[in-house]
Amino acid sequence: MTLLQVSPSTWDWEFAREILPDMLRGLRVTVEVTVVGIAIALVLGLVLAMLRRSHRRAIRWPVGLMVEFIRSTPLLVQLFFIFYVLPDYDIRLSGWSTIVIGLALHYACYTSETYRAGIESVPKGQWEASTAINLTRMQTWRHVILPQAIPTALPALGNYVVASLKDAPLASSVSVVGILAVAKEIQGDTFRGMEPFTIAGVLFLLVSVPLAILVRLLEKRHAFERT
């Protein structure tokens, strides 16, 4: 007696072609939240790194505490907090905003540490020479410190860009239908998992591998510019 007839999956090209447009729509959402999230993270991370070098303890300490806290808790917890707890305080964010803000904040804290390492690799004498030509602190950051610190930080930053793409499927946890959510929906409707999840994996690969190559190229170009 069989309750349900489930044949072992064999790859069905026809089915795969049928679901591909929906899958691509899902990929678009995933890439979108990643790009917006990581773009904010790269800028915010730099700001956080600079704030952690502030002369004022009242700025340096709270920022440091926040960075350590966010780095030590899972992104999923942060997403749930934004999505389910903040509304109690009348801050209501859509799923899309939640995943973007979550990714941005989470990766800002990681990239800030990378920027910080880059900043600390710039010798103290560079700050002193900037003082000797009377630059302001902001001018010193802009013209002397960051142009040396960022190329150093670039390889590690690139890795975070790729990593954030792989965290983006967490969007489905706050009801944003990215590529993985689409795949799961298809599986739920048709009881076929092989094609949608395989396609999801391959599509991720198709985005992240060229991205990784791009990062390596960027790295090399900047390495040349330094000498």
Partner 1 sequence: MPSSEPEPETSSSAPLAMVHMDKVVKRFGDNVVLDQLDLSVQSNEKVVIIGPSGSGKTTILRVLMTLERPEEGVIWVDGRPLYHQERDGQLVPAKESHVRDVRRDVSMVFQHFNLFPHKTIRDNVTLGPRKTLGLGMDEAEERARDLLERVGLSDKIDAYPSALSGGQKQRVAIARALAMQPKVMLFDEVTSALDPELVGEVLSVLADIAHHTEMTMLLVTHEMRFAEEIADRVLMFDAGRIVEDRPPHEMFSAPREERTKAFLQAVLRE
Q: Which residues contribute to the site for partner 1 (CB under 8 A)?
A: 123, 125-126, 128-129, 131-136, 139, 143-144, 147-148, 225-227
> Residues 18, 21, 26, 28: what is their CA dihedral angle, to the nearest 10 degrees?
160
Cβ-based nearer residue to partner 1, 148 or 159: 148
Shortest distance in whole angstroms from residue 65 CB to partner 1: 26
Could you tell me the smallest distance in angstroms from the CB atom of residue 55 to partner 1?
9
147 vs 193, beta carbon nearer partner 1: 147
Q: What is the nearest approach in angstroms of partner 1 to the Cβ of residue 219?
A: 16
Q: In this complex, which beta carbon is closest to partner 1, that of residue 4 or of residue 55? A: 55
Cβ closest to partner 1, residue 7 vs residue 134 = 134
Closest separation between CB of residue 227 and partner 1, Å?
A: 6
Taking phi over 0 as left and psi of -120 to 50 as alpha, with beta for the rest, 175 belongs to left
How many angstroms separate the CA atoms of 29 and 172, rounded? 11
Cα separations (Å) of 59 from 15, 65, 70, 101, 120? 56, 10, 17, 22, 18
Q: Are 6 and 191 in contact (CB under 8 A)?
A: yes
